[in-house]
Amino acid sequence: MLTRTPSVVAQAFLLLSVILIIAIAVIQINQQKILSPGLKYGIVLDAGSSRTTVYVYEWPAEKENDTGVVSQTFKCDVKGPGISSYEHNTGALAKPLDECLNKVKERIPVHLHKSTSLYLGATAGMRLLRLQNETAANEVLASIQNYFRAQPFQFRGAHIITGPEEGVYGWITANYLMGNFLERNLWRAWVHPYRRETMGALDLGGASTQISFIPEDSQENFNNTMQVKLYGYDYNVYTHSFQCYGRDEAEKRLLALLLQKSSTNSSVDNPCYPRNYKTALTVKYFCGSLCTQSLRPTNYYPDQSVIYHGTGDPGLCQEMVSLLFNFSTCRSQEDCPFNGIHQPKVKGNFVAFSGFYYTINALNLTGHFTLTDFNSSMWFFCSQSWAQLQFMLPKSEEIYARSYCFSANFIYYLLVRGYNFDAGNWPQIHFQKEVGNSSIAWSLGYMLSLTNMIPAEGKLIQLPLKPSLFAGLLIFLTVLALLCLFFLVYLCIVSRNQKVISRVEYVFTPE
């Protein structure tokens, strides 16, 4: 008789091997950790007419319906004027940018610098320069490109974006930050808000202004409608950009108009400047722009100095500002407010940012307020002397403080006479600078649109055992189990044969 010890040992090893195989497989599956592939970063430079602002955005590498969930993590204002001001000295562009770019390098992990995309979008200031001097505009862009190619980031180009693009990107930013595209449900998953209405966007820059919203009849045929796809949904957005209707360029047109109507070329009264304020400006400062070309004096001497005296006259200021708008070309057509531009009727809530916000803030207006409140605050503000205004706005730079009365009147005519807002729907305009820690600016919408082109990465799975070790253990234990099984089968066959032999021997054994 064969001993039973080998059989017991083989059975024990077979059982242990099977148990270990099942245990390792269960642990490997149940204890795996799904890791995010980490964060991606993007840098957008908003090269406006009056300044350049650097924004750093980040978003999870896995995306929601092809669009990254983007948030602003850093903002830096580049010292000095906008890039269009460097047309005669492009070599001086690098130094102001260095300070902000060095801070950006500290904000983004070093190992991600090479994979971080950097974009520069230039707006109305460069659009005007290109119209006025295309060679100079190209030289400015070439200088910027040379600068950024030497940086450690993945430079994706410097482009002059169109007015409609600027408007739509601002609309995207406003609605994204207001939670109109995505929200978290009870399970903390990102979902599309149920029946949430989008908001219109009003942007007032230095050289242009934009209005963007979804009209009542989004299928209505307006030339200025653009289709946007975000988070798996399509939006038909009406948008229009008014060149030369930015705050700075509009004020230059007013200064040129006042000079044109003045009896003297050396001293001019300005009803929009505060009482007792006086400043000397060169004719080139306000007549050197493409926007004021038609208002240049017959005898144009760029370096000629003109002294403007503030008279603080609210009524006359309104009258002069109204002349900056052409309300006659539309001939009282309801869908044609001014300058012959057709616009659908404004609908729903709007967010007004950039220059709109700063002017309203200067008037000390916050939250919801009526059109009557706005008018009375504007009238009071415009009646102040320069000494009183400096006391009211202690931290404002002179160039801004002196012009807030003009800005307020300009905003009134733009919104009420231009876009057809009235006392009834005025409270639906929300004047805001930011939501949370994110600025309301076209640059975030630009980044959101660009993330549609950045491929999503799959989620990383971290396992308790390395795949090679896991596979090796499975193979070893499976082979051990098979050997034990074969050995047990062999023992069974040998044991059966021995029993047969023993029976035969028993039968033929002589008595």
Annotated catalytic residues are 166
> What does DSSP assign to residue 219?
T
First and final C-alpha spacing in the chain: 23
Tell me what percent of the chain is helix, strand and coil, each rounded to the nearest 5.
45, 20, 35
CA distance 499 to 502: 5
CA distance 268 to 79: 32
CB burial of residue 115 (10 Å; 0-12, 13-18, 19+): exposed
Q: 3-class SS at 434? A: strand
CA distance 125 to 131: 10
CA distance 195 to 181: 11
Residue 391 corresponds to which tokens in the numbers above? 């006391």
Residues near 317 by Cβ (< 8 Å), separated by ≥ 6?
271, 272, 382, 405, 406, 409
DSSP H helical segments within 363-466, as ranges? 371-382, 386-392, 398-401, 404-412, 442-450
